[in-house]
Structure 1
């Protein structure tokens, strides 16, 4: 009969012996798996840190890609109540005398009053024309004022009319307002009846009242008159948009446009700071601690080496600005021995005050401007499917392979444990049988004649 418990025959703790033997085989390999996984996780984390630093730098570079962020303007209107103003990079610094004679307004027409707005009006059509574009709305005999307004407002070919019901002491009436201001957007309207005269009685002839005429805005810039369809005037002064708010031809306001060198300087300083932060991040991710003998996650990594090389090359690039080659150092921005950028405040301020076109050209020239080059470089690393994503895919594959190897190794250890248990149990059975035979032999010898038991 086979033994059902290990170690009975030999007296050995077979389970513990097998466990120790299997662990001796398993521990070094599992430690290697864990060490490799830890290194991969550190690299993935490091890639995330690098990508974040690159994105921060890209945000700073993007603010120098366009003249919108370089040729920044400040606008002052004093304490004027007549308009507000904004100015883009194409505006020229200067002062302008502004008068607002008239604000633009929309035309408003009103139909006849009715005592009950829920009553039906008639059957036929309402025809509109605004700025040369016409549309018609079919009116059913069951339509009240609300239904008519809804049909007009929701008409797919509505060319610029909004219908609203207004209630007053004299009743309710439909008000038709041109969507846009100005005399070009005057509403022409007529009603045609197919049954009865209800529509004509409400919307034709003397029953169609003009509540407000369409008007153009009128302003004077340094004495020059300009008429506009809108209260937003963007063609009076190059690069300047005026938003008219009040009219009084007897009042003159002064508009002052100036170059905002402080804002541009701040954007450039942010760019330099972001570049240096990126360089610091790259140094930390690829460093080697001589005293501790430890390496950072990306020490010696080709991605860091390649990125450093490209950045170092770009900061020394010369950019053609109006046929003249210029570089960062001409703006007071130089590279130190550690590869970081530093600013000579005096030189940069001088460039901003006296040669803004050079500053704009070095950074934002289409294709070759440094801000555009840096943005393209960073994008190649951070975009979906870019260099960093490709590297992370490699790490994912490596992790997957280790997982497979762990599973295969675990199965191998299970088989080793089963084999050792089988071998030790077989040995234990043999020892048990030998012990049994020894005991039987001893008993037989003891029963022989002449053998005296002590």
Structure 2
């Protein structure tokens, strides 16, 4: 290190000397702080990666937990314009002839027409009854048609009436529509004018002044020539596990509904589980590995948290599940485990299980509490949930960072104090040396001035 600064009295490089002493103590400690911080950050990043892989694993498990996705059904309605269909796991394979005679419609009635939507019919009350349930709203003398519609729609006890102002060539009128289709949901309206307020509400809504715009109607359809009447265009339960949505009516047209097991979708969901599980194992191995050649450990190498997770995962894949009195394991369904703990699929064996033993495959994964998908999901959740293992570990890392910041701050103050103390000590020394130099110089001058002294 070049010494350039000098003391005033001693001609010594005091600044450089103090800096060298302070750095000799400061730099190794700061390097230790930096290494500690890098280690904590690496662990935070590694735990974040682990949480991300667990979340992907949980997404794959959702398709197997309830069995709906695992026991997927393929639905075909041909090119029918008359209905759509969906099916859950309870739907059985089959073909059905469907004819739609009528669609369900909601009841619509309208009050008498006025010239403008801003017209005010008068003070009083409107009462409504829908499917045996009643409610009403009070009408102020200042309420126009829009205000009345808002009061009806915003009523906290509204039983299913939607009010709208419709303006046509004839003028404006209030239209009341039932929220639900079918004859059970017809609307009745009673208008009562306030005493002394005239007959504005009565003239607009009572008796012949209330026009039926659309009669309430039930849906009528035939499934294999069996008649079904429904209040709604959504038909549930007519065919077990199937929901029909009626879209158009024509009794002369027959559509064909075909339900079959979607073997491809089932296999995709099982494969998704296997791929996600293997990705999680790969991530665990990478995060906890040790590179012997580089002599470098990964961030979570030897960490008990990740060792415990890996151990539980490997144990769980070999467990057997009780399904209808027999125990089933992944291996029985064509899912094998290799010596590295990763899974692979025996396609022929899995295809056979899907085709011939779907109940066992579904039970293996989806049985409540004991099914593997539910068990894996529960395990993953203990790590990823708020307050779970990973959250607690991150809290620990945050605490370590705060302690490190506190230690750094205290050490910085210590180094400033050391620097200040050294400067004081060296400055005192500088003054002493300067004083000695002055005394020496004066003594030499006096000696040189003595008689007989020969100056060289």
TM-score class normalised by the smaller sequence: over 0.9
What pairs up with 1:301-320 in 2 under 5 angstroms?
Answer: 301-320=303-322
Q: Aligned partners of 1:322, 1:93: CA distance in 2, in Å?
A: 22
Q: Aligned partners of 2:148, 2:378: CA distance in 1, in Å?
A: 56
| Kept after mapping to 2: 8 A contact 1:33/1:406 | yes
1:335-363 CA distance string (max 9 Å, x none)? 11111111111111111111111111111
Q: What SS does the corresponding residue of 2:64 show, helix, strand or coil?
A: coil
Q: Aligned partners of 2:405, 2:319: CA distance in 1, in Å?
A: 47
- Shift in CA distance, 256/425, structure 1 to aligned 2, threshold 3 Å: same
Q: Aligned partners of 1:394, 1:156: CA distance in 2, in Å?
A: 49
Instruction: Provide the residue aligned with 1:326 in structure 2.
Output: 328
Q: Aligned partners of 1:330, 1:74: CA distance in 2, in Å?
A: 25
Aligned length: 450
- Shift in CA distance, 139/401, structure 1 to aligned 2, threshold 3 Å: closer
- Shift in CA distance, 290/122, structure 1 to aligned 2, threshold 3 Å: closer
Q: Which of 253, 256, 262 in structure 1 is aligned with 2:255?
A: 253
Q: Which moved more, 1:165-174 or 1:392-401?
A: 165-174
Q: What SS does the corresponding residue of 2:258 show, helix, strand or coil?
A: strand
Q: Which moved more, 1:395-404 or 1:317-326?
A: 395-404
- Shift in CA distance, 403/154, structure 1 to aligned 2, threshold 3 Å: closer
Q: What SS does the corresponding residue of 1:238 show, helix, strand or coil?
A: coil
Q: Aligned partners of 1:222, 1:74: CA distance in 2, in Å?
A: 20
Instruction: Provide the residue aligned with 1:430 in structure 2.
Output: 432
- Deviation, 1:171, is 4.0
- Deviation, 1:434, is 2.7
- Shift in CA distance, 409/127, structure 1 to aligned 2, threshold 3 Å: closer
Instruction: Provide the residue aligned with 2:450 in structure 1.
Output: 448
Q: Aligned partners of 2:94, 2:240: CA distance in 1, in Å?
A: 11
- Shift in CA distance, 442/338, structure 1 to aligned 2, threshold 3 Å: same
1:32-77 CA distance string (max 9 Å, x none)? 2222221121111111111111111111112211111111111111
Matched, 1:110 2:104: no
Matched, 1:155 2:176: no
- Shift in CA distance, 49/443, structure 1 to aligned 2, threshold 3 Å: same
Instruction: Provide the residue aligned with 1:134 in structure 2.
Output: 134
- Deviation, 1:85, is 0.8
| Kept after mapping to 2: 8 A contact 1:105/1:213 | yes
1:174-210 CA distance string (max 9 Å, x none)? 3332221111112223334444444333333333333
1:225-268 CA distance string (max 9 Å, x none)? 11000111112111111111111112111101111111121111
- Deviation, 1:384, is 1.4
Q: Which moved more, 1:336-345 or 1:118-127?
A: 118-127
| Kept after mapping to 2: 8 A contact 1:6/1:14 | yes
Q: Aligned partners of 1:407, 1:176: CA distance in 2, in Å?
A: 72
- Deviation, 1:169, is 4.0
Q: Aligned partners of 2:128, 2:419: CA distance in 1, in Å?
A: 92
Instruction: Provide the residue aligned with 1:44 in structure 2.
Output: 44
The TM-score with structure 1 as length reference comes to 0.93
- Shift in CA distance, 402/122, structure 1 to aligned 2, threshold 3 Å: closer
| Kept after mapping to 2: 8 A contact 1:6/1:428 | no
Q: What SS does the corresponding residue of 2:305 show, helix, strand or coil?
A: helix
Q: What SS does the corresponding residue of 2:180 show, helix, strand or coil?
A: coil
Q: Aligned partners of 2:93, 2:55: CA distance in 1, in Å?
A: 34
- Shift in CA distance, 13/227, structure 1 to aligned 2, threshold 3 Å: same
The TM-score with structure 2 as length reference comes to 0.92
- Shift in CA distance, 27/153, structure 1 to aligned 2, threshold 3 Å: closer
Instruction: Provide the residue aligned with 2:422 in structure 1.
Output: 420
Q: What SS does the corresponding residue of 2:12 show, helix, strand or coil?
A: coil
| Kept after mapping to 2: 8 A contact 1:97/1:222 | yes
Matched, 1:97 2:97: yes
Q: Aligned partners of 1:170, 1:29: CA distance in 2, in Å?
A: 89
- Deviation, 1:144, is 4.2
Q: Aligned partners of 1:411, 1:132: CA distance in 2, in Å?
A: 80
- Shift in CA distance, 325/123, structure 1 to aligned 2, threshold 3 Å: same
Q: Which moved more, 1:87-96 or 1:105-114?
A: 105-114
Q: Aligned partners of 1:136, 1:254: CA distance in 2, in Å?
A: 46
Consecutive unaligned residues in structure 1, runs of 5 or more: none
- Deviation, 1:6, is 5.5
TM-align CA RMSD: 2.1
- Deviation, 1:332, is 0.7
Matched, 1:294 2:296: yes
Q: Which moved more, 1:215-224 or 1:9-18?
A: 9-18
Q: What SS does the corresponding residue of 1:107 show, helix, strand or coil?
A: strand
| Kept after mapping to 2: 8 A contact 1:6/1:425 | no
- Shift in CA distance, 427/329, structure 1 to aligned 2, threshold 3 Å: same
- Deviation, 1:146, is 3.6
Matched, 1:276 2:271: no
Q: Aligned partners of 1:174, 1:401: CA distance in 2, in Å?
A: 70
Instruction: Provide the residue aligned with 2:224 in structure 1.
Output: 222
Q: What SS does the corresponding residue of 1:448 show, helix, strand or coil?
A: coil
Q: Which moved more, 1:194-203 or 1:321-330?
A: 194-203
